[in-house]
Amino acid sequence: MEDKICLDTDFLVNFLRNNKEEVEFIKNNEFDNDLATTYINLFELYYGAYKSSEKQNNLQAITTLINRINILNFSDDSFKKAGEVLAKLEKEGRAIEFRDLFIGVIALVNNYAIKTKNIKHFSRIEGLTILD
């Protein structure tokens, strides 16, 4: 298994909902591996929290989560790679949603695999290792 793992929003939502599979994954990997997410994923989590009827609980859960994992940000290399990947995918008629593009490229440029159930979109980013 990869030792640098970027956790996608679908994984994090399930973790925050106390889903057994995701909780076990975190328990088994948080000390031996570098677990991270991106600021794009955090945006998605906060967006969901503010829409939720359990807003305060969800906001607190996000705060607790971000103290446990690293947060990856855009860099010049990420922006350049995102432009390259999207141009290629558009030419092929296989473009993906901007947020998934940004998440995947940030992970790729920082040498992280991505833990996600959204294999359909992330598999279009050449070179990105996907853990499902």
pLDDT tens per residue across span 8-58 = 999 999 999 999 999 999 999 999 999 999 999 999 999 999 999 999 999
- Provide the pLDDT confidence category of residue 1 given band limits of 50, 70 and 90: low
Percent of the chain topping pLDDT 70: 99
List b or e across 12-38, with b for residues whose CB sees 16 or more CB atoms inside 10 angstroms: bbbbbeeeeebeebbeebeeeebbbbb
Cα distances (angstroms) measured from residue 93 to each of 12, 50, 81, 96, 118: 30, 34, 18, 10, 18
For residue 2, the model assigns a pLDDT of 84
Instruction: Look up residue 30 and give its two tokens.
Output: 């948080």
pLDDT tens for each residue of 56-83: 999 999 999 999 999 999 999 999 999 9
- Provide the pLDDT confidence category of residue 132 given band limits of 50, 70 and 90: confident
Enter the CATH code of domain 8-131.
3.40.50.1010
Under DSSP, is residue 19 helix (H, G, I), strand (E, B) or coil? coil
pLDDT tens for each residue of 97-124: 999 999 999 999 999 999 999 999 999 9
For residue 59, the model assigns a pLDDT of 96
The pTM assigned to this predicted structure is 0.95
